[in-house]
Amino acid sequence: MDYKKIADLLFPNAKDVNQIESLYPKRQLKEGQVVSRFAPSPTGFMHIGNFFQMFISYNLTRVTDGIFFLRIEDTDFKREKKDAVNVVYEVLKKFGIKPDEYQTLDGVDIGDYGPYVQSQRLEIYQTYAKKLVAEGKAFPCFCRKTEGKEDVLKLRETKFNEDDEKEYDPCRNLTFEEIKQKIENGEKFAIRLKTKNTGKERIKFYDLIKGEIEAKANAKDFVILKNDGVPPYAFAHAIDDTLMGTTIVVRGEEYISSTPAHLELFDALGFKHPTYCHNPLICKIGENGNRRKISKRFDEEADMRYYFEQGYPETAVLEYLLNIINSGFEIWRANNPDKPWQEFKFGVKEITTVAPIFDLVKLNDISKNVIAKMSAQQVYENVLNWAKDYDKVFYKFLVENKEYAIKVFNIDREGPKPRKDIYKWSMIEDTFDYMFHKPKLLIEDKAKFNAFISSYLDEFTFPKEKEEWFAKVKEVAGKLGYALDNKQYKLNPEKFAGNVAKACEHIRIALTGRKDAPDLFELIQILGEEEVKARLKSSLD
Ligand code: GLU
């Protein structure tokens, strides 16, 4: 068979492989340096599973001082691409993940191994398709679903996979003349790999997480270039990861079953096998109690934008993911409570082999700790940033009342036991609602409450010291028959209007609407004299 002639006929304008390869010299790496990548298909949103996989790649390169690059896999995408790509960039940027090599949004390649966008690499894929045809390792296929060829296509998927039946494939052994005729007739062609396997072979490959895997070798003549000149995933993966010098391919474990086909392609192309690292997928426990993949359809937290909308600090989300990816992280964090996560030595051996279960409670816990370590100023900046996009009214308030808001965020923050109740920015307005809005009051004994508050209001002077403030509360309480000595009160509660704690509760309710607000003296200082008086007064109505 004249394969070379067929190749020239199919791809008259394709470049020479050497020409391409001279543009992608082998990377000069130091011992142990990892080159890995994030290769999302832009769909307009980012699934937490993709982010999870990205973060493994990122960490493997980070700890080896390696190279982390971003490759946009936009070959299978007919809809508006630009916006979808924007989402990828936006998410990475917000999380502070900067690839070493990528293509900027206005199309400039940063790095020597681009273009980093697959739709700009079609010429490269054609060059290699031509090479395979010229070597008799691939063939043009003119079958089309629309031409009543369904039977052939079905056979190809089933019978032709298994044994010599492949020889009956109507396209596998077309002659040069037959192909030429079809092309002259304007028929379009795809390119299929001509597998060398019969369906009986098995292969072994090594996976960094799963160890050695044995599987049935590929025996399908699968498509490597569609009839529009665009490659499906497998072909683009083999070529790009080779030319771009990826040393570890991190991807979801759903790709394990097609790895034998990918490896056959690497062999046919004369490429070295990459090292694979198939990560487990994040799960949830479904209604029926079984594990299921976390999914965009059922779980809002599957979309990375959820964390922005809710206002989780990015560090909290990253630390949570480190927790579920790497068994070493939790211990490291416990031993190094104040170090940034970037100092954690992420080891391949500690990557989880079982599917982690997504746990919002755990994320919230981590986030509470992250926020507890922030200063009031940092909290303010973070909340402001969040509110700018997600709560315009609150944003305006924060801008206009910066000093006040920082004081509020400082309540119970400094000191040995900082508050740990806040885990996302969207909850902070509610947490301190009594400081930002006039409280709604629920008063159990209105007569008693009014009696106390009106006397307290009459005698109110803005306190400078806590002792001074407390002395005044006691003074008013004493006059109204409250017990100043709690022991006395406990012995004969019916003899008193209440105790000092009860008196404080009246003030707390008047000022905040709550029985459990933080330190009253501190609140009074932040609210200021006028606001305190106004609140005391309006609580009487
Ligand atoms: N574009 C593929 C995906 O998003 C990439 C898989 C890979 O990382 O190789 O699933």
| pLDDT value, residue 155 | 65
* Residue 50, domain member (yes or no): no
Together in a domain, 156 and 258: yes
d(CA 318, ligand 1 centre) in Å: 21
Q: What is the pLDDT of residue 101?
A: 98
56: helix, strand or coil:
helix
pLDDT at 146 over 60: no
Q: What is the DSSP string of 192-212?
A: EE-----S--EEEEEETTTEE
Q: Are 128 and 269 part of one and the same domain? A: yes
Asked if residue 397 is part of any domain, the answer here is yes
Closest-lying ligand 1 atom to the alpha carbon of residue 40: 4
In a domain, 85, yes or no: no
Q: Which two tokens stand for residue 382?
A: 């973070």
Q: Are residues 450 and 419 in the same domain?
A: no
- Residue to substitute in 255, 262, 276 for testing ligand 1 pocket (most ligand atoms within 8 angstroms of CB): 255
Domain final residue pick, 227, 252, 279: 279
Q: Are residues 229 and 266 in the same domain?
A: yes
Does 348 share its domain with 419?
no
Closest CA to 264 of 173, 208, 199: 199
Q: Is residue 43 part of a domain?
A: no
Could you report the per-residue pLDDT of 243-269, keeping only the tens digit for each? 999 999 999 999 999 999 999 999 999
Q: Taking residues 506-512, what's their average pLDDT?
A: 94
Tell me: pLDDT of 349 over 60.
Answer: yes
For residues 423 and 398, state if they share a domain: yes
Dihedral sign for Cα atoms in the order 473, 478, 484, 490: negative
**CA distances, 402 to each of 250, 398, 413 (Å):** 45, 5, 17
431 and 514 part of one domain: no
Distance from residue 238's CA to the centre of ligand 1 (Å) = 12
Distance 142 CA to ligand 1 centre (A): 28
Is residue 54 in some structural domain? Answer: no
Does residue 424 register a pLDDT over 80? yes
Whether 149 has a pLDDT exceeding 80, the answer reads no
pLDDT the model gives residue 81: 64
The β-bridge partners of 249 are 276
Q: Is the pLDDT of residue 148 over 90?
A: no
Q: Are 357 and 397 in contact (CB under 8 A)?
A: no
- Domain boundary at 372, 398, 426, which? 372
**Which of 35, 57, 58, 73 best tests ligand 1's pocket when mutated (most atoms within 8 Å of CB)?**
73
State the distance from the centre of ligand 1 to the C-alpha of 338, rounded, in angstroms. 35
- The pLDDT confidence band at residue 164, using thresholds 50, 70 and 90, is low
List of residues 6+ apart from 67 with CB closer than 8 A: 27, 33, 34, 35, 36, 61, 100, 101
Residue 533 has pLDDT above 60, yes or no: yes
Q: What is the pLDDT of residue 79?
A: 58
- The CATH number given to whatever domain includes residue 352 is 1.10.1160.10
Q: 1 CA distance to ligand 1 centroid (A)?
A: 36
Ramachandran angles phi, psi of 194, nearest 5° = -95, 95
425 DSSP 8-state letter: G
Per-residue tokens: 161: 């996979």
Q: Per-residue confidence at 439, pLDDT binned at 50, 70, 90? A: confident
Q: Both 315 and 331 in a single domain?
A: yes
Atom of ligand 1 nearest to the CA of 237: 9
Any domain includes 11: yes
Using an 8 Å Cβ cutoff, are 506 and 520 in contact? no
Alpha carbon of 256 to ligand 1 centroid (Å): 12
**Residue 29 reports pLDDT greater than 90:** yes
| Cβ atoms of 263 and 181 closer than 8 Å | no
Q: Are residues 333 and 424 in the same domain?
A: no
Cα distance between the two ends of the chain? 99
258 lines ligand 1 (CB under 6 A): no
381 shares a domain with 367: no
> What whole-number distance in Å separates Cα of residue 34 and Cα of residue 30?
9
Domain boundary among the residues 436, 458, 477 is at 436
Give pLDDT, residue 150.
59
Q: Indicate if the pLDDT at residue 163 is higher than 70.
A: no
Higher pLDDT, 254 or 440: 254
25: left (phi over 0), alpha (psi -120 to 50) or beta: beta
335-339 own/partner pairs: CB under 8 Å, 24+ apart: 338/373
100 falls within a domain: no
**Number of helices followed by number of strands (H, E) in the chain:** 25, 13
Q: Is 37 in the pocket of ligand 1 (CB under 6 A)?
A: no
Please give the average per-residue pLDDT across 315-342, as a whole number: 94
pLDDT at 490: 87
pLDDT averaged over the chain?
92
Residue 531 maps to a domain: yes
Find out whether 118 and 75 touch, Cβ atoms under 8 Å. yes
Q: What is the pLDDT of residue 103?
A: 97
Our answer on whether the CB atom of 62 is closer than 6 Å to any ligand 1 atom is no
Q: Which among 58, 116, 251 is the best mutation to test ligand 1's pocket, defined by most ligand atoms within 8 Å of the CB? A: 251
CA of residue 39 to ligand 1 center, whole Å: 5
| 8 A C-beta contact, residue 489 and residue 422 | no
In the prediction, which pLDDT does 418 show? 85
Q: How many domains does the chain have?
A: 4
CATH, residue 213: 3.40.50.620
Cα 41 to ligand 1 centroid, rounded to whole Å: 7
Integer angstrom CA distances of residue 285 from 16, 49, 281: 52, 16, 13
Q: Is 71 in the pocket of ligand 1 (CB under 6 A)?
A: no
Domain shared by 132 and 226, yes or no: yes
pLDDT (0 to 100) of residue 449: 95
* Position 438 pLDDT exceeds 80: yes
- Contact 39 CB / ligand 1 (< 6 Å): yes
Nearest protein CA to atom 4 of ligand 1, as residue: 40
Residue ranges making up the domain that contains 412: 376-436
The pLDDT score that the predictor gives to residue 502 is 94
Atom 9 of ligand 1: nearest residue by CA position: 251
What pLDDT, in 10s, does the model give residues 451-482?
999 999 999 999 999 999 999 999 999 999 99
- 72 CA to centre of ligand 1 in angstroms: 9
Cβ of residue 237 lying under 6 Å from some atom of ligand 1: yes
* DSSP codes, 269-289: HTPPPPEEEEEPPPEEE-TTS
Local confidence band at 78 (pLDDT 50, 70, 90 cut-offs): low
Helix, coil or strand: residue 381 = helix
Is the pLDDT at 147 greater than 60, yes or no? no
Reported pTM:
0.88
Q: Is the CB of 278 under 6 A from ligand 1?
A: no
What mean pLDDT do residues 369-390 have? 96
Q: Whose CA is nearest to atom 7 of ligand 1?
A: 251
Quick one: 9 and 139 in the same domain? yes
